[in-house]
Structure 1
Amino acid sequence: MEKHTSSSVHFRLKLLTAAAQMQSALGIQDLGQLYHKPLRDAHGTVVVSCVCAARSAKVSALNSRWAPVAKLRRRVLSEDNTMADLLMASVHDQIAYHQVYQQ
C-alpha cells in the first residue's frame, strides 16, 4: 500500500479535475498519451501535456487551428522563454516521442 500525503492526494485530485475539464472543453474522451517530460518556464510554471493523433482535420473546440509542423519548427525561442514558446519548441519532440511509442 502506498503512503499518501495530503499534498499528493491534492495534486492527484487537481490532475483529475484538469483532465475532466479538458475532456469537456475538447469534446473528446481520449486525451492521448501523457508526454514523459513536463515543461517548465522561467517563472516556475509547469505544464504537463498529452499527445493524441487527430482522427479528423476538423476541430470545433475552443479557439483551435491547425498549423504545419514545419512552420512550428521555424519558431525560435525568445530570451524570456514564455510557456507558449516552450510548448511550440517542444511540439516536434512530443510528436516524435508519440510516434516511437506507438511502434
Structure 2
Amino acid sequence: MTAASEKGREKRLVARANAEIHQKIAEAAELQGSTVSQFLLDAALERAGEVTERATRINTSRAAFENMMEALDQPPRPLPRLRQVARRYKEEVHVPDPETATGQEPPPRGL
C-alpha cells in the first residue's frame, strides 16, 4: 500500500465502556442529533485541541514578556570562546573560514 492511498484511509478507533457510561453517551448524542460515533469523535477532537494548546502555549507575566522582548531586541553579545571552538571545528573538517579567506567564496552548502 502506498503512502498516498494510506493517507486518505480512515482509521478505526475502539473504546470499551460499561453499560452506564454507554447509556449516558448515547443519550447525549441523541439530544445533540448525532450518532454515538460522531459524538465521541467531536468530544475527543475538542479535548485533543485543548490538551495540545495547553501543552504548546507559553504562559508568562507581562513583565517577563517585556523582559524577553527587550533581550531579543539587543544586539548579540560577542562570544569569543564559541567563535574559537567553531573555528577549530572548521579547521578539523577542512571547511574554509569565510572571515579569514581572501576573496574566496565559501563552497556551496549541502554538497
User: TM-score category by the smaller chain?
Assistant: under 0.3
Give the strand-richer structure, 1 or 2: 1
TM-score by length of structure 2 reads 0.22
TM-score by length of structure 1 reads 0.23
Larger Rg: 1 or 2?
2
